[in-house]
Amino acid sequence: MEDRPTTVYAILGSLMSGPRHGYEILRTLEEGLGAVWRFSASQLYVLLKKMEGEGLLDSTFEVQEARPSKRVYSNTPAGEASFLEWLKTPTDHVRDLRFEFLTKLFFFRNLGIAGGDRLVAEQIGILKEIKQGLAAKRDSEPEPFRRLIYGFRIATLTAWLAWLEDEAAIFGK
Amino acid sequence: MEDRPTTVYAILGSLMSGPRHGYEILRTLEEGLGAVWRFSASQLYVLLKKMEGEGLLDSTFEVQEARPSKRVYSNTPAGEASFLEWLKTPTDHVRDLRFEFLTKLFFFRNLGIAGGDRLVAEQIGILKEIKQGLAAKRDSEPEPFRRLIYGFRIATLTAWLAWLEDEAAIFGK
DNA sequence: AGAATCATGTAAGGGGTTACATGATTCG
DNA sequence: CGAATCATGTAACCCCTTACATGATTCT
């Protein structure tokens, strides 16, 4: 799977329910995911062009009288496949978990796609493995500062695991 | 206070104990902070030049026979002041906490500077405030996905607060 | 009349990564 | 002898943010 920025998948996800023009995509994403991140309008238009160049999107240009023209985008089959593959894959980079994982959960529910509970379960498995690895490293680490860092990471992972097993598991169903 | 990237302060911090050339700075930082982040050598040299241009660093060029020449850097008074101000200020952007706060703690201990415990206490105060704000927002949020996001953030902050009050408080003394 | 919303873009710059380039010394 | 270490840089991208630019419509 190609590793594109999460914004790209968010755009693909917003087009899974039908064609939209840039401003509409922005509205949709801000309404649904505004609490997770901010989208810049200018960056969005840049990305849309780039994604079309990469074959993820198609576009048609609609000229309107008395209103500015709109460029309407839709997913290509490649774009759709790319989105669905991304959607069902848990995140293995811990730093991206917040953005990526919450965005995936959002689309599972928003698009009515089955398998959200499986994603949650797999994500739990991955985090547990990482946590165990860190715990082992901390136990054999004599240097206090490095122990402190491991402690920080382990504390973070513990909290996220509890959140996943508790709140996210319910949401993912 | 100017808001420079954390790498800049890490470099200033590594020069607080005396002049060093680029490669030495890299070694020092990787040894002490390698568990927190990675430094790219090429980026370091770019940064050093930029920082000198901004008046944070001075440099002298040492020509050596039979070895490559070295450019030896040291903090200017402005650089030192900038570092010390950064060091004693808690982080108010939650996403940067891991990098920034752990780096600050490292330098408190590494340079034998007093006030680490105060920084920990102030950081605890800030996170508690943020957490209370989020808890209030979640309580008045009807939308399940937004509640889930707030839950995630609150869980993260709770874990970090416990870590601060427990492990970091001891380390900061 | 002015502010907010609809609608789309360009340009500049910041900060980071990866790849590439060079060349000496020291260690196994 | 070859690999690791010492030592410094350039160039090309990537993604993001901010600022700037334009212009119509609708709401207050």
Q: Which two tokens stand for residue B117?
A: 């415990």
Q: Is there a domain that residue B130 lies in? A: no
**Pick from A16, A90, A26, A91: nearest CA to A56:** A16
Q: Are the CB atoms for B90 and B124 separated by under 8 Å?
A: no
Q: Is there a domain that residue B94 lies in? A: no
Rounded-to-5 percentages of helix, strand, coil across chain B:
65, 10, 25
Instruction: Say yes or no for a CB contact (<8 Å) between A148 and B167.
Output: yes
- What's the confidence (pLDDT) of residue B95? 86
Residue A168 with chain B: CB contacts under 8 Å: 148
pLDDT greater than 90 at residue A48: yes
Q: Is there a domain that residue B10 lies in? A: yes
Give the domain extent around A20: 1-87
- What's the confidence (pLDDT) of residue A158? 98
The 8-class DSSP code of residue A89 comes to S
Number of structural domains found in chain B: 1
Q: Kindly report the nearest CA distance between residue B98 and chain A, in angstroms.
A: 8
- CB-based contact (8 Å) between A133 and chain B? no
Provide the pLDDT confidence category of residue A64 given band limits of 50, 70 and 90. Answer: low
Q: Are the CB atoms for B56 and B79 separated by under 8 Å?
A: yes
Please count the other Cβ atoms lying within 10 Å of the Cβ belonging to residue A141: 16
Q: Are the CB atoms for A103 and A6 separated by under 8 Å?
A: yes
Instruction: Say yes or no for a CB contact (<8 Å) between A145 and B105.
Output: yes
Q: Kindly report the nearest CA distance between residue A93 and chain B, in angstroms.
A: 14
Instruction: Say yes or no for a CB contact (<8 Å) between A162 and B151.
Output: no
Q: Is there a domain that residue A144 lies in? A: no
Per-residue CA distances from B89 to A56, A151, B37, B84, B111 (Å):
45, 22, 21, 9, 16
Determine what percent of chain B is predicted with pLDDT higher than 90: 82
Q: Is there a domain that residue A147 lies in? A: no
Instruction: Say yes or no for a CB contact (<8 Å) between B102 and A160.
Output: no
Mean pLDDT, residues B5-14 = 96
Question: Which range among A67-76, B23-32, B81-90, B132-141 shows the weakest confidence by mean pLDDT?
Answer: A67-76
Q: Is there a domain that residue A21 lies in? A: yes
pLDDT greater than 80 at residue A83: yes
- CB-based contact (8 Å) between B162 and chain A? yes
Please count the other Cβ atoms lying within 10 Å of the Cβ belonging to residue A64: 8
The predicted-structure confidence for B58-109, as pLDDT tens digits, reads as follows: 999 876 665 667 899 999 999 999 999 999 999 988 988 988 999 999 999 9
Q: Is there a domain that residue B67 lies in? A: yes
Q: Which residue is nearest to nucleotide C5 (CA to C1')?
A: A23
What distance in Å separates the CA atoms of residue B101 and residue B10, rounded to the nearest whole number? 12
Interior CA angle at A75 toward A69 and A78, to 5°?
145
Q: Specify the CATH number for the domain of residue B48.
A: 1.10.10.10
Half-sphere exposure of A85 (CA within 13 A, CB side): 10
Instruction: Say yes or no for a CB contact (<8 Å) between B148 and A105.
Output: yes
Residues 97-156 of A with CB under 7 A from strand C: none
Provide the pLDDT confidence category of residue B121 given band limits of 50, 70 and 90. Answer: very high
Q: Is there a domain that residue B36 lies in? A: yes
B101, B102, B111, B148: best to mutate for the A interface, most A CBs within 10 A: B148
Residue A35 with chain B: CB contacts under 8 Å: 145-146, 149-150
